[in-house]
Structure 1
Amino acid sequence: MEDVATEYYRELLRRNLLQSDPLSYRNGGFTMHDLLRALAQFIAQGEYFSGEVATLARTSLASQEMKLRHLSISGDFLEISPEIVKEHTSVRTLIILGIPTNTLPEDLFQKLKCLRLLDLSKTNLMVVPESASSLVHLRYLDFSGSMISRLPETIGNLSNLQYLILQACEQLSELPKSIANLYKLRSIDLAGTRVIGIPAGIRQLIYLNRVINFVTNDQRIDGARKCYSSLEDLKPLINLRTITIVNLERAARAQGSILKDKIHIYHLKLSCSSEGWPYQQEDIARIQDVFEERLFPPSSVENFTIEGYFGMEFPTWMKNRDLFLNLTRLDILKCRNCSQLPLLGQLPLLDHLEIHGAWSIKHIGPEFMGSAGREAAFPKLKSLILEDMPEWEEWTWEAKDDARVMPVLESLWIERCPRLKSLPQGLVHHATNLSYIWIEESHSLTVIEGFKSVQKAYLARNNGFERLTDFPSVQVLEIEDCPALLHHVGVLPSLQMLIWRDSSMRFLPEWMLPHPVDPIFPNLQRMSITVGDVLTLKRCLINGPDSAKIQHIPNVYMEVMDRPDFISFTKEPFRFLYKSS
């Protein structure tokens, strides 16, 4: 079913019937063009309604023959009349948006026998009406982001339910035992809940292919008469494609991998919480055995996240190149005890790598690249993120012509690495496709130079950063609280926009003065500067001591943090506006 749906989805993209949504593109969001949506609404009129419940009430009164199949309403329909919904007995899809009340009428769903999809997400709903258990044809049930604290035991009556979405139900801590009766369930999402365990019997749900936040609980709590599913209960679920396993610090030692034979898994996340940090040596030894023996992944994995692992060394299977031939994304998060990264450079399809919270890493060198001979290391890598590594001091990487490394890297993000002294020459030499660089809170870095392909750079809160040179292609430069950078910035011939925020700036740097022969910013079109003092702003007024540093720039905007004072300057036609508080 999912394969067919994916093909339909791709076909919609190929035909441009779906377009990327700028507001949610990073999360894979897409939208439909307004004209196409209007056409679909026109074709479906009489069967489809989306809007305020008051409008629906008027429409229903005006057209007694309306036979709605799909209904999406917003507003407080309880204040008008819940009968407005009840009378549409043929409805297949019901989406209720933003209801302010926390309860629904108990009999709301009794007559909606044809309902296939029910979406009550992002509402204040606290109690699920018992009548919801009578929706025997229901396939999709979404409570995500609601205030519900429990599900009724009768939810097990939804014999055709395939998708149960409980994401971000922050008050939910327990699932009913009858969950095990949902034999056709294909997807369950518990991310962002407080659920402490999955009821016993999940091994019976053999059609499950997506499980988000399977809560590890290998200990059975007999005293409380509660019995939870353990990792062993995942073994029969051979159709899994996406699985997130959390609270692995509770896992017990056992023989045999629970994942290795699941050849359809493409998205895998293994997570330990930090509740017991710092862990005892006994726990460290146990978690190393659990990951090594029980969590050996299949070679089908394309997207892999390991989070909160507190072993002293990464599992040996993470060094197995042949195991990850299909891997495109790897996130290594909060693995605080590991002092050496696994060999990752030879993963042929890896295009995104994030290393976050590697507190024990002090040195990154050839063992990370793994390049042998003329074979390229990280041949497909486009995005590299290195974040929250407080002990990291050195990144060694020689600039050798015979070893191609990161040839297609586009984006480099380094944040909260305060001891890193320099960026390697190998990065400058090999990453010739790099177009975006972000460096933040890396106070030991003093110089960044030689990145000839970078077009956009963001530099923030780097206290030791003194010099920026040899960036011939940079078009957008954003600098925030880098006080030492006032001393030297080299010629930036392609720069078109400069954004500078510095609360400690008391005057504009001397290198901003126009040079008649060799200007530092020959193509600069816009400059935005935010300072922390009104006196700094006033230095740039006409005939002020810093006025000559901005008057050669076509468009300038200066402001003071947390104050209404600003300067707006346009060179041609000349316009100078100053506002003071």
Structure 2
Amino acid sequence: MDPMGHLELEEVGKQIAAKCKGLPLALKTLAGMLRSKSEVEGWKHILRSEIWELPHHDILPALMLSYNDLPAHLKRCFSYCAIFPKDYAFRKEQVIHLWIANGLILQEDRIIQDSDQYFLELRSRSLFERVPNPSQGNIEKFLMHDLVNDLAQIASSKLCIRLEESQGSHMLEKGRHLSYSMESIDFEKLTPLYKLKHLRTLLPISFQHGAPLSKRVLHSILPRLTSLRALSLSNYWTVELLDALFIKLKLLRFLDLSRTAIKRLPDSICALYNLETLLLSHCDHLEELPLQMEKLINLHHLDISNTSFLEMPLHLSKLKSLHVLMGAKLLLGGSSMEDLGELHNLYGSLSILELQNVVDRKDAVKAKMREKNHVERLSLKWSESSADNSQTERDILDELRPHTNIKQLQITGYRGTKFPNWLADHSFLKLVKLSLSKCRDCDSLPALGQLPSLKFLSIREMHQITKVTEEFYGSSSSKKPFYSLEKLEFANMSEWKQWHVLGNGEFPTLSHLSIINCPELSLETPIQLSRFQVIGSPKVGVLEGMKQIVELSIIGCNSLTSLPFSILPSTLKRIQISRC
């Protein structure tokens, strides 16, 4: 909206800002709300609101105005978040799953993209704030400002209870959604929980690490909570589930067993006909799923990523309601690529193992890999065996071309002598990480320099590679080769002797270089290495490019261990040079 086209808005906006008294949270929250109102009368309605005049109100009037302006379904979603304690960082997906399980997201909006809009709308009004530096890698997390959390508590009308803050069993009995701290609450001694027959959500909160869950809780308390829609046992060290538990919890829609040491799922879990979300990620000891999983006719979301499954149960393709399957691992044996083709809703990571069992191109076509537009991480692996026909192997890999949404790709044990052209296709705009390993018959590398977003490249155990030529960089792009590359690794290249460098400023963003166990690689003089721009010296004419190197590792490369330290770049912070 152009403010110059609505000059009256400027004056009203100044008056509203004055009422915020310079408080950043109030200004941010109201800005998010006013952004959606293009008419002057809507702004004036906010200015004239009686909420500004409420005496001794603990919640900022601006926050209350923003809440009142929400549509009814978003009010319910926001008030549910009162279940989270202050300073607790939550994931967007976690909140959306809980909303869906409790019927807070409209039926027509339950697909992933529409559910996201609920969360994004609340975030746009600054009711949710992004955690700047999440503790777990790149996992995006959010929290509520303390005052926003107080507002959620008021809005929830005490239906959401945080156990450590509860005032006696009377408050517990009124609650419908309950969270508790795994570190500070002895769950086993909470006898009032026996009375919570109408409890809908039971959510343990862990700020640090998990704890063991007693058998008394599993066998005596949980089976009594027969109205549960959402149950989380995530982060508990020991969880032994008996059939009797799920026979009682027939209304369950959301079950989170992630990051537990569970060894098996009871068969009775297949009787949870209302179950919509099952989270099993990081269950390191879980090796298989029950055989009758197809009975879960309402299962929409299944996460089996980072489990120890040897293979993905192929009967999961019979789950016709499944919208999201994360962490799939397919071991090709008695199964066929056609089974993989039937899995239309794969998300996140996919591993396809034992590809030597695919005998021709027609079988690879059946996998329908190019249609799997939500797979972001793909691993293709052949076990060691002699290739019957290099062209057949190339045809098979050609048909396994992923969708251009792919972000990470790993190819291991490929048995062809050449890679298909798609591997260097610049249409892979999102590909940031590529690993090629144990492709022992390949005698050349594709034009990987043309991948526009590639940041991490690892090339290992490719024993037919004797030289890296101009082909590695490509020539069709106007940008410098490897324009985005930050980390480059070569390792265990036993026959690699020559590395041809263009000298045209390739690798302009490279900061980490590793050359490990490449005993035949010979650079005749340090000047040649300088020309390659790993090490720069004004005396030999430093080229633009890899002058940003901060970490250099050269191990087990006999010809590269006598470099003069006087020509190391000033940016270098860590160096490791040694003979094996």
5+ residue gaps, structure 2, are: 1-110, 524-528, 535-541
Retained in 2: the 8 A contact 1:216–1:248?
A: yes
Residue identity opposite 1:2 in structure 2: I
Which residue in the other structure is 1:327 paired with? 430
Q: 1:63 to 1:164 in 2, by over 3 A?
A: closer
Instruction: State yes or no: 1:213 paired with 2:313.
Output: no
1:101 CA drift (Å): 4.1
Which residue in the other structure is 2:225 paired with? 112
Q: 1:257 to 1:68 in 2, by over 3 A?
A: same
**Which of residues 283, 290, 302 in structure 2 aligns to 1:188?**
302
Q: Which has the higher helix share?
A: 2
Aligned-partner SS, 1:59 = coil
**Which of residues 446, 450, 470 in structure 2 aligns to 1:346?**
450
Q: 1:134 to 1:427 in 2, by over 3 A?
A: farther
Distance 1:40 1:406 in 2: 51
Q: 1:239 to 1:163 in 2, by over 3 A?
A: same
Residue identity opposite 1:46 in structure 2: K
Aligned-partner SS, 2:167 = helix
Mapping 1:87-126, distance limit 5 Å = 87=196, 89-95=198-204, 98-101=210-213, 103=215, 104-126=217-239
Which residue in the other structure is 2:181 paired with? 73
Distance 2:267 2:130 in 1: 39
**Which of residues 443, 458, 471 in structure 1 aligns to 2:569?**
471
Aligned-partner SS, 2:555 = coil
Retained in 2: the 8 A contact 1:208–1:239?
A: yes
Q: Which has the higher strand share?
A: 1
Q: Which has the higher contact order (CA 8 A, sep 6+)?
A: 2
5+ residue gaps, structure 1, are: 220-228, 448-462, 485-581
1:153 CA drift (Å): 1.5
1:212 CA drift (Å): 0.7
Aligned-partner SS, 1:177 = coil
Which residue in the other structure is 1:28 paired with? 139
Which residue in the other structure is 1:272 paired with? 381
1:167 CA drift (Å): 2.5
Mapping 1:10-409, distance limit 5 Å = 12=123, 17-21=129-133, 23-24=135-136, 26-32=137-143, 35=146, 38-39=149-150, 42-43=153-154, 46-50=158-162, 55=164, 59-61=167-169, 63=171, 66-75=174-183, 77=186, 79-81=188-190, 84=193, 87=196, 89-95=198-204, 98-101=210-213, 103=215, 104-130=217-243, 131-206=245-320, 207-219=322-334, 230-249=336-355, 251-254=357-360, 255=362, 256-262=365-371, 264-272=373-381, 277=384, 279-282=385-388, 290-293=396-399, 295-298=400-403, 300-313=404-417, 315-319=419-423, 321=425, 324-337=427-440, 338-348=442-452, 350-360=453-463, 361-372=465-476, 375-378=478-481, 380-391=483-494, 392-400=496-504, 405-407=506-508, 409=509
Task: Give the RMSD, CA atoms, in angstroms.
Answer: 3.9
Retained in 2: the 8 A contact 1:113–1:136?
A: yes
1:320 CA drift (Å): 5.7
For each residue in 1:468-512, what CA deviation from the matched residue of structure 2 results, as whole angstroms up to 9, or x when unmatched?
43635x3x73456x699xxxxxxxxxxxxxxxxxxxxxxxxxxxx
Q: 1:368 to 1:101 in 2, by over 3 A?
A: same
Q: 1:9 to 1:418 in 2, by over 3 A?
A: farther
Aligned-partner SS, 1:345 = helix
Distance 2:242 2:562 in 1: 60
Retained in 1: the 8 A contact 2:327–2:347?
A: no
- Tell me the matched-pair count: 440
Using the size of structure 1 for normalisation, the TM-score is 0.64
Which residue in the other structure is 2:4 paired with? none
Retained in 1: the 8 A contact 2:305–2:328?
A: yes
Distance 2:502 2:376 in 1: 34
Distance 1:40 1:411 in 2: 47
Q: 1:471 to 1:371 in 2, by over 3 A?
A: same
Distance 2:151 2:202 in 1: 16
Q: 1:335 to 1:430 in 2, by over 3 A?
A: farther
Residue identity opposite 1:121 in structure 2: S
Distance 1:427 1:359 in 2: 24
Q: 1:390 to 1:200 in 2, by over 3 A?
A: closer
Which residue in the other structure is 1:560 paired with? none
Retained in 1: the 8 A contact 2:406–2:431?
A: yes
Distance 1:259 1:430 in 2: 45
1:369 CA drift (Å): 0.7
1:124 CA drift (Å): 2.7
Distance 1:129 1:290 in 2: 45
For each residue in 1:85-112, what CA deviation from the matched residue of structure 2 results, as whole angstroms up to 9, or x when unmatched?
6626333242365332464433544443
Distance 2:211 2:284 in 1: 18
Distance 2:300 2:376 in 1: 15
Distance 2:406 2:544 in 1: 24
Q: 1:91 to 1:356 in 2, by over 3 A?
A: farther
Distance 2:356 2:275 in 1: 30
Retained in 2: the 8 A contact 1:170–1:193?
A: yes
Q: 1:230 to 1:355 in 2, by over 3 A?
A: same
Q: 1:312 to 1:180 in 2, by over 3 A?
A: same
Which residue in the other structure is 1:411 paired with? 511
Retained in 2: the 8 A contact 1:239–1:262?
A: no
Q: 1:261 to 1:197 in 2, by over 3 A?
A: same
Residue identity opposite 1:117 in structure 2: A
Distance 2:432 2:197 in 1: 46
Which residue in the other structure is 2:36 paired with? none
| Percentage identity across paired residues of the two chains | 18
Aligned-partner SS, 2:346 = coil
Distance 1:469 1:285 in 2: 46
1:18 CA drift (Å): 0.6
1:22 CA drift (Å): 5.1
For each residue in 1:127-162, what CA deviation from the matched residue of structure 2 results, as whole angstroms up to 9, or x when unmatched?
223323544443432222322221112222223433
